[in-house]
Amino acid sequence: MLVALDELRRLNRQALTLAGFQEDEIKPMLDILLYAQLRGNLQSIVQFAGPGMPKDPEAGEPRVIKETPLSALLDGNRNAGMVVMHRAMGLALEKAVAQGFGMVGTRNTCQATAAIGYYVRHLAVSGFIGLAFSGSGKKVAHFGSYQPIYGTNPLAVGLPTLEEPIVLDMATSALPFFKLVAASMLGQPLPAGVALDATGQDTTDPRAALSGALRSMDRSPKGSGLGLLVEALTGPLVGAAFANVGDTDHNWGNLILSINPELLVGLGEFQRQMTALREAVKSCSRLPGVKEIFLPGERSDQRAAIALQSGYLEIDGQLFRRFREKITGP
């Protein structure tokens, strides 16, 4: 169904208020949530429609527990992933402005960072190459196994151009976790080949998959390798839980890096050539039936632009009504 953006914004705000967040937290969270929702990442709507996203009553202020000129380690102190990553993004940017490079790790959050493309896009708009990696609950099996050992482990990269940045934001799992939860909630089957049940059999039943595991993005050792990489950068490197080690339900980690292109060719030259790269890719010969070649994130950005222009976003009706009922009552 077509949902008015005004209503979506209002419901997001109500949902966060009901969840116990304060105004200074709600402001960045709303921005991040809408960025994700406009791009078809409905993680937050599925979450609000289901178990909710209550603020941890024990949550305190995130605090820097280690700092160098190039880096910081941020203890999220059980605060929301979005709030903590927003802080981490700001710190990584400050350090890269001052030193050319900034790297910030976070630990002790257990709620989604929503869409890590948001954070690297902000860095890219500011003239920096941004990289982000996000840990979460364990739902993905390594190649050859059916035991969940990795999060869906997204990686995101933001690349400045003369125009809008190019933003690659991808789960290293075959399916984002929210799509699994949504399928279970709505009683819809999964695509073939993305999930295994608790005994290691292929399944398209989302409930069976929830007690089993997702496969990695390409069902090959390469996808598992990327999953392991993100697990290492968001677990061992930042002092968060990982695999089956530590409190994997409550101590998730994230990592964000900001790199100044001035360290190499310089920003202007990088932007110019990135625009040339974009144009070269866009104008490639197309396979039969292909109307347009898309760069990473481009279709999501188009979707967002159309929604912002029209004031309406297409969302699965059943899912949206559940979300709205959860917030405003039936």
Residue numbers 177-196 binding a copy of itself by CB under 8 A? 196
Residue pair 100/262 in contact by the 8 Å Cβ criterion: yes
Task: Give the 3-state secondary structure of residue 158.
Answer: strand
In the complex, least distance from residue 200 CB atom to a copy of itself, rounded to whole angstroms:
5
From 5, 18, 30, 70, residue interacting with a copy of itself (rule: CB under 8 A): 70
Q: How far is CA 60 from CA 22, 25, 52, in A?
A: 12, 12, 20
Angle at 121 (CA atoms; ends 115, 126), nearest 5 degrees: 150
Partners of 133 in the beta sheet? 155, 255
For a copy of itself, the closer of residues 103 and 110 by Cβ is: 103
From 22, 220, 310, 328, residue interacting with a copy of itself (rule: CB under 8 A): 220
Q: Does the footprint of a copy of itself cover residue 119 (CB under 8 A)?
A: no
> Which amino acid type is present at position 143?
F
From 236, 312, 318, 321, residue interacting with a copy of itself (rule: CB under 8 A): 236
For a copy of itself, the closer of residues 67 and 325 by Cβ is: 67
Q: Does the footprint of a copy of itself cover residue 296 (CB under 8 A)?
A: yes
Burial label, 50 (beta-carbon count in 10 A; 0-12, 13-18, 19+): middle
H or E element at residue 100:
none
From 259, 307, 313, 327, residue interacting with a copy of itself (rule: CB under 8 A): 259
Range 131-150, binding a copy of itself (CB under 8 A): 141-147, 149
From 10, 63, 207, 222, residue interacting with a copy of itself (rule: CB under 8 A): 222
H or E element at residue 278:
helix 267-282
From 288, 309, 329, 330, residue interacting with a copy of itself (rule: CB under 8 A): 288
For a copy of itself, the closer of residues 141 and 313 by Cβ is: 141
From 52, 200, 311, 317, residue interacting with a copy of itself (rule: CB under 8 A): 200
> Which amino acid type is present at position 60?
G
How many Å apart are CA 264 and CA 266, to the nearest integer? 6
Total residues at the site for a copy of itself (CB under 8 A)? 73
In the complex, least distance from residue 272 CB atom to a copy of itself, rounded to whole angstroms:
8
The span of 9-17, 56-64, 95-103, 311-319 binding a copy of itself (CB under 8 A) equals 95-103
From 36, 46, 49, 73, residue interacting with a copy of itself (rule: CB under 8 A): 73
The span of 41-49, 54-62, 118-126, 280-288 binding a copy of itself (CB under 8 A) equals 280-288
Q: Does the footprint of a copy of itself cover residue 57 (CB under 8 A)?
A: no
Partners of 259 in the beta sheet? 101, 129
Residue pair 121/258 in contact by the 8 Å Cβ criterion: no
Q: Does the footprint of a copy of itself cover residue 256 (CB under 8 A)?
A: no
Task: Give the 3-state secondary structure of residue 325.
Answer: helix
Q: Does the footprint of a copy of itself cover residue 294 (CB under 8 A)?
A: yes
Closest by Cα among 304, 37, 48, 80 to 181: 48
For a copy of itself, the closer of residues 156 and 181 by Cβ is: 156
Task: Go through 225-257 and write b for each residue having 16 or more CB atoms within 10 A of its CB, e for each that does not.
Answer: ebbbebbbbbbebbbbbbbeebebeebbbbbbb
Q: Does the footprint of a copy of itself cover residue 270 (CB under 8 A)?
A: yes
